Structure 1
Amino acid sequence: MNGFSDLGVAVIGTGFIGTVHIGALRRLGMHITGVLGSNAARGAERAAALGVPRAYDSLDQLLVDPAVDAVHVTSPNHAHYAQVKAILAAGKHVICEKPLAMTSAESAEMVELARASGRVAAVCYNTRFYPLNQQARGMVAAGDLGDIRLVTGHYHQDWLARASDWNWRLETDEGGTLRSVADIGTHWIDLVSFIAGARPTAILAELATFIPERQRPLGPVETFAKAGGQASEARHIETDDAALILLRFANGARGSITTSQVSHGRKNAMNWEISGADGSAAWDSEHPDHLWLGHREVPNQVLQRDPGLMNALGSAAASLPGGHVEGFADTFFSLFRAVYTDILAGRRSEQANYASFEDGHYEMLFCDAVIRSAREGGWVDVGGQG
């Protein structure tokens, strides 16, 4: 194989995020072999709408297609474990949406299967690939901020702010025991751990379900879409609308995060601030082309994303010249570019900075710790961390 166009890629899932994956793959020049929908009719309908040549009738049919080298898993959370196992057993590379699994027992097994397979296995924590987040990682690694002391921030949305809002993630059998933490909170934890070069080893968490009863439409609803006046039924909700979590990091830093899917006006607001002994940095996903840099003795700075002004990590992640805003969809392009470069090489490179299955497993251990802390009312260690 010589280039991306020589690789065949199939996508499982045809909703919002599956469509984002397809757009980024096309931008890379990948050969998209087909999609697998939630059922044959849905798959055929979406394949036609997306201009994809084929809709597979089943996962088995997808996996025996010799044209498929890699598979993207964008299905609901409960399907990840079985689908990824089958993909790896078929000898295909895999890129799985977050969270990796429903439980840490599942994710631990997936890590071992990925190692044994020799295939490239990645988790789609795309926010690492905003170029200024790569810039920040390079700055921390170079010691520009000094020893890291404090890591704070939030991830807030409003798409589930009303009792009439609905999504499959609200169901524990499809989305898991945690919702705001597993869906968006693990994005934040993965990102700040990546930037700071250290993970939380202990946490103190409080979970809140502000809307204990919601109206579930009797028909399908796309992620971020409104139900549109469909007939509905009342459903009791057990998953978290929001969470407040204190953090202790392996390097001695302290931190905090709030997650919310019920904050009116916040569409996709991910924010972090890292304070070190020699300086601070902050970034906000709603203004992704600017990195705030804080100083004490000299004026503060704002670095606009410009490859010519950034460090090696930051400029390598940038795709457009300065002043041409790179956003959400661009992160998938940059992430997939890194993953498929390794797939062409036959293995994950030592310099790879996309999330591995090991990273995805850590996030499941983090979710376990959140649940334990919320139930027990105290600090708990994140399993498997020294």
Structure 2
Amino acid sequence: MTTDVTATGVGTIRSGFLGGGFMAQVHSRAARAAGAITAVLASSTPERGFAAAQDLGIARAAADIAELLADDIDIVHVCTPNATHAELALEVIRAGIHVICEKPLATRAEDARALAAAAEERGVVAAVPFVYRYHPMVREARARVAAGEIGELLTVDCGYLQDWMLRPGDDDWRVTAADGGPSRAFADIGSHLCDLLEFVAGERIARLTARTRRVYDERGGRPVTNEDAVSILVEMASGAIGTLLISQMAAGRKNALTLELHGAHASIRFDQERPEELWVGQREGSRQLFRDPETAHPGVARFSTVPAGHAQGYQDAFNGFVADAYAAIRGDELPDGLPTFQDGVRAAQLTEAVLLAAHEERWVDTPVS
């Protein structure tokens, strides 16, 4: 490894990437924005790795993970299909290299826990990109809830809706358990929604019940083995109750992640497709708050990378996440809100709870600490 993670400081981080698809594009852009050298990439075959490295501007392609790990790198971004995450991330950790692993961290909670334990034992930074935490207005919402501005939490109304799997001919590797895991809609996007709910509310989902739906049994000539949509009833640790709807078949919805919390004094709502805004509702009327580092709650302004009126979006949020992970690698104090492998474990626990609740048609308790 190039860097020496000590209080004396480190040099320029050199980043490696496993996988060459869309997420590798996003990760590599964020790495460059954080000042790293995008050093090496490996994919499922040497040929794919070479093509992806050229397309993404990565310095060189490695034939496989062994060659990649032998390079002079400080961190590996795992951007491969879901079912490969646990095995690849564990190889990175065992090599003593820091890791950012796409979610789901693992398709089984047991494997996710093992990864978190391995990372802690090896002393490496291990992060999962729950990047919606890095929208400035999400941090603003979280700060207002923590300050007691909405009062005691009463109910929540949340959703994550997409339409990219709407038609019978829509297909993706995620539809099979072998590649995507036993859950698709929840593990893929519902995990983001639950992470954001618990992060902003400052409390955990204590119990839940769920129903899942698979609309088409076959896509692309292959049997579909996981769900297209999930509806969930939740009870929070405080006793607040709520509804969550997750679907990859909601016509016209591209990435509609919405979070609405209702408190005894006020309500607050964030919409990822309008990330520069925050809605605040009260009995006397409602108002829209717009991102402005000059009026943000203490500690929130650092997430605004451009002046008010200049829109920030998804890639900016991803850049903020990677910048915090790299700051931790350089030996800084763990940045507030950096999602770690423990958060990946939490997502895996909730995924298993949702599938169990749907299968057995009952309420399932989830860990709150």
Shared topology, TM-score over 0.5? yes
Q: Distance in 1 between matches of 2:106 and 2:290?
A: 36
Q: Distance in 2 between matches of 1:11 and 1:201?
A: 36
Question: 1:385, CA displacement in angstroms?
Answer: 3.3
* Equivalent AA in structure 1 for residue 289 of structure 2: L
2:146–2:202 CA contact under 8 A, matched in 1? yes
Name the Cα RMSD after superposition. Answer: 1.4
* Equivalent AA in structure 1 for residue 272 of structure 2: S
1:4–1:340 CA contact under 8 A, matched in 2? no
Q: Distance in 2 between matches of 1:162 and 1:3?
A: 52
1:171–1:237 CA contact under 8 A, matched in 2? yes
Question: 1:5, CA displacement in angstroms?
Answer: 6.3
* Residues 1:274 and 2:261 are matched in the alignment: yes
Question: 1:3, CA displacement in angstroms?
Answer: 7.6
Q: Distance in 1 between matches of 2:156 and 2:189?
A: 17
Q: Which residue in 2 is equivalent to 1:295?
A: 282
2:12–2:35 CA contact under 8 A, matched in 1? no
* Residues 1:99 and 2:104 are matched in the alignment: yes
Q: Distance in 1 between matches of 2:9 and 2:47?
A: 33
* Equivalent AA in structure 2 for residue 306 of structure 1: D
* Partner SS for 1:138: helix
Could you report, residue by residue, the CA deviation over 1:144-182 in whole angstroms, capped at 9, with x for unpaired residues? 111111121110101111111111111111111111000
Q: Which residue in 2 is equivalent to 1:208?
A: 213
* Residues 1:48 and 2:54 are matched in the alignment: yes
1:46-125 to 2 correspondence within 5 Å?
A: 46-65=52-71, 67-125=72-130
Question: 1:4, CA displacement in angstroms?
Answer: 8.2
* Partner SS for 2:191: helix
1:4–1:29 CA contact under 8 A, matched in 2? no
Could you report, residue by residue, the CA deviation over 1:2-33 in whole angstroms, capped at 9, with x for unpaired residues? 88861111111110111011111112221111
Q: Percent identity at matched positions?
A: 36
* Residues 1:136 and 2:119 are matched in the alignment: no
Q: Distance in 2 between matches of 1:199 and 1:61?
A: 41
Runs of 4+ in 1 over 6 A off after TM superposition: 2-5
Q: Distance in 1 between matches of 2:121 and 2:191?
A: 26
Q: Distance in 2 between matches of 1:352 and 1:60?
A: 33
Q: Which residue in 1 is equivalent to 2:330?
A: 344
Q: Distance in 1 between matches of 2:127 and 2:46?
A: 27
Could you report, residue by residue, the CA deviation over 1:181-220 in whole angstroms, capped at 9, with x for unpaired residues? 00000000001100001111111100001111212xxxxx
Q: Distance in 2 between matches of 1:314 and 1:171?
A: 40
| Structure 2: unaligned runs, 5 residues or longer | none
Q: Which residue in 1 is equivalent to 2:161?
A: 156
1:76–1:174 CA contact under 8 A, matched in 2? yes
Q: Distance in 2 between matches of 1:77 and 1:214?
A: 18
Question: 1:37, CA displacement in angstroms?
Answer: 1.2
Could you report, residue by residue, the CA deviation over 1:87-138 in whole angstroms, capped at 9, with x for unpaired residues? 1111111111111101011001111101101111111111111110011111
* Residues 1:245 and 2:232 are matched in the alignment: yes
2:176–2:223 CA contact under 8 A, matched in 1? no
Q: Which residue in 2 is equivalent to 1:315?
A: 301
1:4–1:30 CA contact under 8 A, matched in 2? no
Q: Distance in 2 between matches of 1:9 and 1:252?
A: 44
1:5–1:30 CA contact under 8 A, matched in 2? no
Distance change (3 Å), C-alpha of 1:3 and 1:136 = farther
Q: Which residue in 2 is equivalent to 1:264?
A: 251
Report the TM-score, using the length of structure 2 for normalisation.
0.95
Match of 2:353 among 366, 369, 385: 369
1:7-26 to 2 correspondence within 5 Å?
A: 7-26=13-32
Question: 1:252, CA displacement in angstroms?
Answer: 1.7
What is the aligned length?
A: 363
* Residues 1:305 and 2:311 are matched in the alignment: no
Q: Which residue in 1 is equivalent to 2:311?
A: 325
Could you report, residue by residue, the CA deviation over 1:253-278 in whole angstroms, capped at 9, with x for unpaired residues? 11211011011111111111001111
Q: Distance in 2 between matches of 1:41 and 1:5?
A: 31
Distance change (3 Å), C-alpha of 1:295 and 1:3 = farther
* Residues 1:334 and 2:320 are matched in the alignment: yes
